[in-house]
Structure 1
Amino acid sequence: MVGAFRDTLSQLLKARVPVLQVCSYEEQRVLGEIAAVAHDVALVRTPRGVWTWSATRGLVPPDGNRRQGTTDPVAALDAALRIDEPALLVMSDLHPAFGAGGRPADPGVVRRLRELAVAYRSGPVPRTLVLLSPVPDLPVELAKDVTVVDFPLPTEPEIRAVLDGIIVANAATGRIRIDLDERGRERFAKAALGLTLHEAENAFARAMVDDGVLNASDLRLVHEEKRQVVRRSGLLEFLDDPVALADVGGLENLKRWLAKRDGAWLAEAAAYGLPAPRGVLITGVPGCGKSLTAKAVAAAWGLPLLRLDIGKVFAGLVGSSEQNMREAIRIAEATAPCVLWLDEIEKGFAGGPGDSGTSARVFGSFLTWMQEKTRPVFVIATANDFAALPPELLRKGRFDEIFFVDLPTRAERASIWSLHVARRLRHPAVAGELTVDSGLLTELAGLSDGYSGAEIEQAVVAGLVDAYAERRPLRRDDLLRALVNMVPLSVTQAERIAAVRSWAEHRAVAATAAEDWDLDPRQAGGPGLPGGGHGGRAVEF
């Protein structure tokens, strides 16, 4: 990554490109790379002295003796025009004069820069000006005079060096206990990808002082640093809603598939010849655990969970949607390894009257990225309306697998009842008269045939409402009454669910394990409602 920056910079210097812009918050790191290129005769034919300028120090030549009266930008540019030796001048605080933050651009600075570009391009000695800024703002007058050079964030080896250094420095004191093996250190370094070296160092230091121990549980503090980066973008949402896979009732086939891919983005898997998992598309009946699974896999893998709100991508000025999508992808890749969740993807790219093809272009950019991405961004897309899914989204290469989530089977319903009832019974005011045993769970599972997981949860809540109204513990009768009073989706939307099952029969893999089916696995795909067979191929993982 940094090697690519050095190669690009050396080519531009040899070509005598007069003005460059490098956007980065890491001034010292950029200056170090620039100095390495400027002094290396193998990279540039003529070594150049590195000059610097800041709003507080003014112009500083290679000998370190500051030039008096050059803290003003126009005065500094005038002095830069008089440099008559091979030089590479780095100016760090010039962006406020370009109108950054909504301020008007300084016409004097803009004019001097244009004059400097002409002088440096045609001068007898090689001179180059580098504008170092944390923001990419440039006045329109300079758009054709300034060449923008990308500066990459720290690589994994650079972050690993910082981690190892801080471990050595603190472990020797005896006040910090290090409980990380080689695999654990690799996870920490990968988790910090997308941060600057300073941010990564802060995260590692905070993890150490949190409890005096550095171990795998401290990864959450590294993710907290990433949360700040994501929050500033406004396009992605960093979710911190830990859900264990065990909290997802049923879906054992899908759970096993996900469990086998835990850690598949690590170097150990790459050495084994295994590519990082690309993602899954989860479709099926509403309210049966698709979104909950997206949250659970991020927690199970110890990765940050980002949610992409397609509505925010399309918000803003005309023509900005494509740029918003590229920015969202860039942030997701900078946060990698991570899980990127798109909820109800079929609605996000649906378009509409007056769309003018914007949705198709943004969707095309997203599909191309999914096909060609190399960073470990695991995409989980959920969809309720299979008919709205474009065929190009479903072809192999976009997702590793397509799973179909059907109404829960009897065994899955028992598991869901157990989870929700037991969770409420932890509260002393609720517990007391209800004993959750296999008999009760079997009874509830049988009576809730055709109910989704969300409907079972609401039945528990409705039972709690009745119990609370009388200020007493929850009873069996409360749950039975809630079931009787609820009309499930399998009744109100029977035809639609049958159509969804028919579609999934040969196009998706059943998320439910074969051993959990109410019917013989060979009857998968049967349309009987409620509680009929399950759409989706009978594949075991």
Structure 2
Amino acid sequence: MAIGNQRRTKTLLANLLKARFPYLYIQTWEEDRVLSLIRSVAQDAELIKTPREVLIWRITTGILDGNGQSKGDYKQPLKALEFIEKYDKPCVVVLQDFHVYLGGQGRLPDFQVIRKLRDMLSHIKQSAYPINVIFTSPFMILPEDLQKDITIVDFDLPTFDEIMAVLDEMISINEQSGRIQILLTGEEKERLAKAALGLTLSEAENAFARAMVEDGKLDIADVEVILEEKEQIIKKTGILEFVRSDLRLEDVGGLENLKRWLTKRNKSWLDSARKYGLPAPKGVLITGVPGCGKSLISKSISSMWQLPLLRLDMGKIFSGIVGSSEENMRKAIKTAEAISPSILWIDEIEKGFSGIGSNGDSGTSSRIFGQFLTWMQEKTSPVFVIATANNISSLPPELMRKGRFDEIFFVDLPTKRERKEILRVHCNKRLKDHEVVGEFQLTDDVLDHLASICEGFVGAEIEQLVIDALFEAYAENRPVRLEDFEKAITNTVPLSVTQAEQIRAIRHWANVRAVTATPREDLEDYVGRQGDASAYAPPSFDNKGDDIRLKRGGRTIDF
């Protein structure tokens, strides 16, 4: 919650109290924070004109005044409500965990309590003294009997300023004791506090304390500790998956155009970006030939940006219970926003949103799609959405218009320069043992030769040919040879041959709708013989002759 949102919440609460709304409901885990807000509003004469005493009811203590003194034996809910009805002073009564009497979560509602709440309405509204009742609970339980009488007040998680205040206080205390080394610049401290957004104040304090005691210091590397605390939140949802990845952009061969675009947007959620009037980026849609690194680069962004990566499984959204699919999508979005700044990764998005408008699911897909579109258009929380798709033509056109995603990138078959880089990455990753390497040298000439003869291979096929070559050497218990790589290439029929029609359709779509992930300097025309798998060239899209040139998909814009 930005500082502006915090002020709006305070102003909204003040207006509701002034307007004598009888029942308010605030869903939160943070009782101390919400009580602090309520007290600050209720006792501010400039905000509400008539200051009010704040009384707190708990089933364990009954009703307590502002000094923590008991008002009598009012632990039973009906007795507590009778006390409120008869109270003759301006007051705000906070009922903590009163949801247990309202039903839900497998419990039946207490109909006497609900009836009493309805009976009190007219008295509270007409009382000579302003009285407001505020329900606070970690859960939103609202019986239909009271839906017209209770007003819901949103209470967001701690702001950046609140978390920064906690961090500053902890740093000040430890600097005085001298037990913990504080190795943070101003920007690094800001990034650490930003990383803790989405945690409660208690959770943030615990995360900072854990980071300090683990190695006796607090530095930028402790962002990982914060992410581990956020992982606990994700595990409890059951819908999102927290993906931990140590992949770097350098581990992804090629796609330099896309890499530059992403690198320029690193740290764009920090306050330093506000000087340029920049908003947090919305997201990117990556489409293209299967196996060319779309999922791989999605995972690498998390490491570069040092943000939590959440994978949304559309299959878990569409559950069998009527109405629960929409609730699952709301829950997933709310969770992603709660731990923002974060990255929300939707792999193969076309499988979740294809066939929109069909009658097979009674409109569930359309409603969920509408939810997602509205959120993408209007979201203000720094949640960066990465969506990948193989068959993008099946996606609704509304998803791809400007305003949803910042850019649409097309990942084509790798160029020769990209194939060399992919080969280099996978060979260096595996060829580390001297006995396995032997006399084999990964020179530029060797890479150039292998990249030439594996023309038309996607990145996943190049990785597999490296593995196959190593299996050849392993089976004979000898060092790897160049011939092993050549044999693996010869034995592979690439995707560009087996799925020629699909690649043609994807490229045709991308020519005017997407930006190529490969930079202009890496682009090249492929020359090969049509239909000849041994040439390892992409299939011909031109039937005029055996020797053809293949036009690649995607607009050549450099970033």
Q: TM-score range by the shorter chain?
A: over 0.9
Measured after TM superposition, the shift of residue 414 of structure 1 is 1.2
How far, CA to CA, are the matches of 1:368 and 1:147 in structure 2?
24
- Which of 250, 255, 270 aligns to 1:251? It is 255
What is the DSSP-based 3-state SS (H/G/I as helix, E as strand, rest coil) of the residue aligned with 1:306?
Answer: strand
The 8 Å contact of residues 526 and 533 in structure 1, kept in 2 or not, is answered as no
Match of 1:36 in 2: 40
What is the aligned partner in structure 1 of residue 388 from structure 2? 382
When residues 336 and 531 of structure 1 are mapped into structure 2, their CA distance, relative to the original with a 3 A threshold, is: farther
Deviations 1:71-109 (A, max 9, x none): 233332233333222111111132222334322223333
Specify every segment of 5 or more residues in structure 1 that has no aligned partner in the other structure, as ranges: none
Matched, 1:78 2:82: yes
Is 1:99 paired with 2:93? no
Aligned runs of 1:53-68 on 2, under 5 Å? 53-68=57-72
Residue equivalent to 1:271? 275
Which of 428, 438, 444 aligns to 2:450? It is 444
2:119 to 115, 119, 122: 115
**Equivalent of 2:137, from 110, 133, 136?**
133
Aligned residues of 2:25 and 2:134 also touching (Cα < 8 A): yes
Structure 1 segment 122-521 matched on structure 2, within 5 A: 122-351=126-355, 352-426=358-432, 430-432=436-438, 434-519=440-525
Per-residue deviation, residues 334-373 of structure 1 (Å, max 9, x unmatched): 2221221111122211145512332223222222222222
SS at match of 2:430: helix
- Return the letter of the residue paired with 1:217: A
Structure-2 separation of matches of 1:489 and 1:530: 18
- What is the aligned counterpart of 1:25 among 15, 22, 29? 29
Greater Cα offset, 432-441 or 299-308: 432-441
Give the conservation status (yes or no) of the 8 Å contact 2:504–2:541: yes
The residue matched to 2:296 in structure 1 has which SS? helix
The verdict on how the C-alpha distance between 1:357 and 1:109 changes in structure 2, with shifts beyond 3 A counting, is same
Deviation at 1:203, TM superposition (A): 1.3
- Residues 354, 395 of structure 2: 8 Å contact kept: no
How many Å apart are 1:33 and its aligned residue?
0.9
**Secondary structure at the counterpart of residue 515 of structure 1:** helix
Instruction: Identify the range of structure 1 (223-232 vs 148-157) with the bigger mean alpha-carbon deviation.
Output: 223-232
SS in structure 2 of the partner of residue 535 of structure 1: coil
Q: Secondary structure at 1:101's aligned position in 2?
A: coil
- d(CA) in 2 for partners of 1:8, 1:141: 25
Structure 1 Cα separation of the partners of residues 52 and 111 of structure 2: 30
Distance 2:474 2:79 in 1: 75
CA contact 1:245–1:300 (8 Å) conserved in 2: yes
Letter in 1 for 2:221: S
Task: Name the CA distance, whole Å, in 1 between partners of 2:136 and 2:320.
Answer: 28
* 1:162 alignment partner AA: V
The verdict on how the C-alpha distance between 1:54 and 1:431 changes in structure 2, with shifts beyond 3 A counting, is farther
C-alpha separation in 1, matches of 2:440 and 2:12: 70
How far off its partner does 1:49 sit? 0.9
Q: Indicate how the Cα distance of structure 1 residues 209 and 100 shifts in structure 2: closer, same or farther if over 3 A, else same.
A: farther
- TM superposition score normalised by structure 1: 0.93
Shift of 1:499: 2.5
Tell me if structure 2 keeps the 8 A contact 1:424–1:430: no
**Which whole-Å CA distance do the structure 1 matches of 2:55 and 2:346 have between them?**
47
Pairwise CA distance, 1:174: 1.8
CA displacement, residues 223-249 of structure 1 (integer Å, 9 cap, x when unaligned): 122222222222222211221000000
- Give the 3 Å change call, closer, same or farther, for CA 472–502 of structure 1 in structure 2: same
RMSD: 2.3
Contact 2:353–2:395 under 8 Å retained in 1: no
Shift of 1:161: 0.9
Q: Distance in 1 between matches of 2:262 and 2:540?
A: 26
Kept in 2: contact 1:284–1:406 (CA 8 A): yes
| 2:290 alignment partner AA | P
Q: Contact 1:425/1:431 (CA < 8 Å) preserved in 2?
A: yes
Task: Assess, with a 3 A threshold, how the Cα gap between structure 1 residues 64 and 204 changes in structure 2: closer, same or farther.
Answer: closer
* Cα displacement (A) at 1:421: 1.9
Distance 1:124 1:188 in 2: 50
Q: What 5-or-longer segments of structure 2 have no aligned partner?
A: 527-538
Match of 1:52 in 2: 56
**Distance in 1 between residues matched to 2:376 and 2:335, nearest whole Å:** 15
After TM superposition, give the deviation of residue 324 of structure 1 in Å: 2.7
Partners in 2 of 1:94 and 1:292 — Cα distance? 48
What one-letter code is carried by the residue in structure 2 that aligns with 1:168? S
* Contact 2:164/2:193, CA 8 A, preserved across alignment: yes
Query: CA–CA distance in 2 between the matches of 1:527 and 1:336?
Result: 45
Q: Distance in 2 between matches of 1:232 and 1:404?
A: 35
CA distance in 2, matches of 1:531, 1:53: 78
Evaluate the alpha carbon distance shift between residue 530 and residue 404 of structure 1 in structure 2; reply closer, same or farther with a 3 A threshold.
farther
- Over 3 Å counting, the alpha-carbon distance change for 1:57 and 1:46 in structure 2 is same
Q: After superposition, what is the alpha-carbon deviation per residue over 1:475-509, rounded to whole angstroms, capped at 9, x for unaligned?
A: 43333222222211011111221222222222221
Stretch deviating more after TM superposition (102-111 or 217-226): 102-111
The structural deviation recorded for 1:212 is 1.7
Provide the C-alpha distance between the structure 2 equivalents of 1:361 and 1:353, rounded to a whole number of angstroms: 12
Q: Output the CA distance in 2 between the equivalents of 1:374 and 1:130.
A: 28
Q: Which residue of 1 aligns with 2:529?
A: none
In structure 2, the partner of 1:540 is 558
State whether residues 540 and 549 of structure 2, in contact with CA within 8 Å, keep that contact through their aligned partners in structure 1: no
SS at match of 2:241: strand
Please report how far the alpha carbon of residue 26 of structure 1 lies from its aligned counterpart in structure 2 after TM superposition. 0.8
Question: Counterpart of 1:88 in 2: which secondary structure?
Answer: strand
- Describe the shift of the 1:383–1:472 C-alpha distance in structure 2 as closer, same or farther (beyond 3 A): same
Instruction: Report how far residue 427 of structure 1 moved.
Output: 5.4
CA separation in 1, counterparts of 2:549 and 2:176?
Answer: 62
Residue-pair matches, total = 537
SS class of match (1:128): strand
Q: Kindly, what percent of the aligned residue pairs are identical?
A: 53
Partners of 1:429 and 1:117 lie apart in 2 by: 84
Equivalent in the alignment of 1:90 = 94
Task: Render the CA deviation track for 1:276-325: whole Å, top value 9, x for unaligned.
Answer: 22221111110000111111112111111112222222224223333332
Shift of 1:431: 4.3
Q: Once the 2 structures are TM-superposed, how far is the Cα of residue 516 of structure 1 from its aligned partner?
A: 2.0
Q: Distance in 1 between matches of 2:303 and 2:151?
A: 42
Letter in 2 for 1:417: L
Q: State the one-letter code of the partner of 1:406.
A: D
